[in-house]
Structure 1
Amino acid sequence: MLVRQPLDLFAFGCMLLFCLVMASQQVVLKAVEEDIAPVFQIALRYGIALLLLMMLIRPKRTQVRLAPENRWPALWIGVLFTLEFLLLGEALRFTTAGHATVFLYTSPIFAAIGLHIKIPSERMGILQWVGIALAFSGMVLAFIGGDASSFGAVVLLGDLLALLAGASWGVTTVVVRATGLSVLPAKQILFYQLLIAFVVLGLWSFWSEQASINLTPEVLASLAFHGIGVAFLAFLLWFWLLTRYKASQLGILSFMTPVLGVLLGSWWLNEQIELNFIIGAGFILAGVLLVCRRPASGRRVAVA
């Protein structure tokens, strides 16, 4: 059985870079949404990343065919991965980039609950359940508070979609950890996720009439950033880190992403940050940190 090592300075640097990239993606998607719909841009970025990945694995003759026992789990993570970014793309039509980032990164909460159920060694202690209660209290506060003039039903719909995207990400982590996929090469897992997401999100974009594009320099730069930086390099880095380091410790560092996302949205897009949302987001992040702490049994809870 593969033993994952604790975080070192190299892993911390990789996670800091990963968090910066991931915090920027919602902001960049939102910045060019008048020229290209977020969900269509996500579909195109996965097409770009899929081509790059195929160029990477073909010369090395990397095996992408799955063993029979891994085919259904691979299909499931492909579907969940696609659902996550379909929900995120739709969420960005209604809510701010900052809101979307915070609710997306509730994924460790859903992952911890799923792993508690599926894997005995990942069971949570009292402190982790307190963290989950705190996080869900923060979600409620972020949803129901605020001034109606800036926090209406449309924003609530977007926030809910982003929260569901976070749940999809969390369930993806559970499937990877609870099946044989956890020991497969990162490129192999990423290949199937990108393939399914590109096809399904592309079809959704055309079906929902969101496939129009105005090729401005900003859109081209955004596509390059998302296709190469986010969907190819960042995701490949994330899966590589999961195969080498403890997922729970990586998850603790990932809480930097929603904080950076809110700050970037406010700075770049001039998004208003409501007081209730700041307090609710604080509760959410505090809850995530509690969930990621070492349980009384000495084991750690794996997170997305």
Structure 2
Amino acid sequence: MSLPRKTVLIVLAFFAIYVIWGSTYLLNKIAVSHLPPFFLASARFLVSSIIIFLIAKSLKVSLKISKKQFLNATIAGFLFLTLGNGLAVFALKYVDSGFTALEISAQPLVVLIIMRILYGKRITIMPYIGVILGFIGVFLLVSQKQIISQEGQVLGVILIFVCMLSWAYASIFVGKADLPTNSFLNTAYQMLTGGIMLGVVSLILNEQWSLPNVWKVHVKWSMLGLILFGSIVAFTAFNYLLKEVSPEKVATSTYVNPIIALILGWWVLNEQITTQSVIAAIVLLTGVYFINTKRTFKPRV
């Protein structure tokens, strides 16, 4: 008996955001070591959006969307890509790729808190235990001497936290907003608008722009991976899931992302994995598990 097409798509989409996104931390770390962060992110998303528009056009998908949908796509593009991804890439100049992924793994905790504050969602004891464990895990992670003592790493930690807030709120926003129903178009418009805004930020910061012909080979391969897999495949899957399942379930990608990022960072870039980082990861991911297990929301009384 074959699985329904929708079920297969959801499973494949989860695989994309679990595994592919776990590798993008490494790819961004490699690229940002040679390219300015906001230029890097802008080039990545603008090229990706053009490719997606061409694919949509070849499939005879209408590119027309309403003004409201375009506005919402612009807001999502700003929150996800300009603010969220842009700051994360900038932070990677100062912190390891595995550490970045591990800190961002606290996103379900942030989603839960935002939903509680903005929408008055009451939750059961399990998520509260998860929140406590999450805070302990984050504290263990960012309080390491290697983080506090090195120049620029505290700034990196703060930027990642702001990025996490932006992504968490954007996940909730996209789940409720009027956006293009076609996942390809939704992704393309978010990347187009987000990429343009990233380019503006890059120009304001007077970053040095360059053409691919002067990039090193490993930077070119990293950008190719970010564009084809990290942007087109994974981000399309992400937007698809936000319309099909709850934002908290989508946020569970943070179970797998940090593990893949830690392993790849250690294997490829010789990033150090400390005992405290391992303990922090166990505590933090256990907290995320509690947040997403047997969760029930109750209206505020």
Query: Cα gap change, 1:277/1:64 in structure 2, threshold over 3 Å: closer, same or farther?
Result: farther
Moved more, 288-297 or 43-52: 288-297
1:36 equivalent in alignment to 2:38 = no
Aligned to 1:162: 160
Gaps of 5+ in 1: 300-304
In the alignment, structure 2 segments of 5+ residues that lack a partner are none
Give matches, 1:154-233, under 5 Å: 154-181=152-179, 184-213=181-210, 214-233=214-233
Q: Give 3-state SS (helix, strand or coil) of 2:32's partner.
A: coil
Normalised to the residue count of structure 1, the TM-score between the two structures is 0.84
Cα distance between partner residues in 2 of 1:250 and 1:272: 29
SS in 2 for 1:231: helix
Shift of residue 79, structure 1, vs aligned partner: 1.7
Structure 1's 277 and 48: CA in aligned 2 closer, same or farther, altered over 3 A?
same
1:227-266 aligned within 5 A:
227-266=227-266
Q: CA deviation at 1:10?
A: 6.0
CA drift of 1:41 comes to: 1.8
Q: How many residues align?
A: 290
Map 1:28-67 to 2 at 5 A: 28-59=27-58, 60-66=60-66
Per the alignment, residue 105 of structure 1 pairs with: 105
Matched residue SS, 1:295: coil
What RMSD in Å do the two structures reach over aligned CA positions?
Answer: 2.8
C-alpha spacing 1:13/1:189, structure 2 compared with 1 (3 Å): closer
> For 1:186 and 1:8, how far apart are their aligned partners in 2?
16
CA contact (8 A) 1:146 1:275 kept: no
Asked if structure 2 preserves the Cα contact closer than 8 Å seen for 1:48 and 1:228, the reply is no
Q: Percent identity?
A: 20
- Partners of 1:15 and 1:253 within 8 A in 2: yes
CA shift, 1:258, in A, is 1.0
What CA deviation, in whole Å up to 9, does each residue of 1:120-153 have, x standing for no partner? 6x642221122112112221221123347x8524
State the Cα deviation string for residues 155-208 of structure 1 (Å, max 9, x = none).
121122112211111010111123334x83323332332112211212222332
Structure-1 separation of matches of 2:33 and 2:151: 21
- 8 Å Cα contact 1:251-1:292 kept in structure 2: no
Structure 2 CA distance for aligned equivalents of residues 13 and 267 of structure 1: 26
Q: 1:53 to 1:10 in 2, by over 3 A?
A: closer
Structure 1 equivalent of residue 293 of structure 2? 293
Residue pair 2:10, 2:241 contacting (<8 A) in 1 also: yes
Tell me what 1:302 maps to.
Answer: none
Q: How big is the shift at 1:45? A: 0.9
For residues 236-286 of structure 1, the C-alpha deviation after alignment (integer angstroms, 9 at most, x for no partner) is 122223333454444335411111111111111001123322222322212
TM-score by length of 2: 0.85
Kept in 1: contact 2:112–2:248 (CA 8 A): no
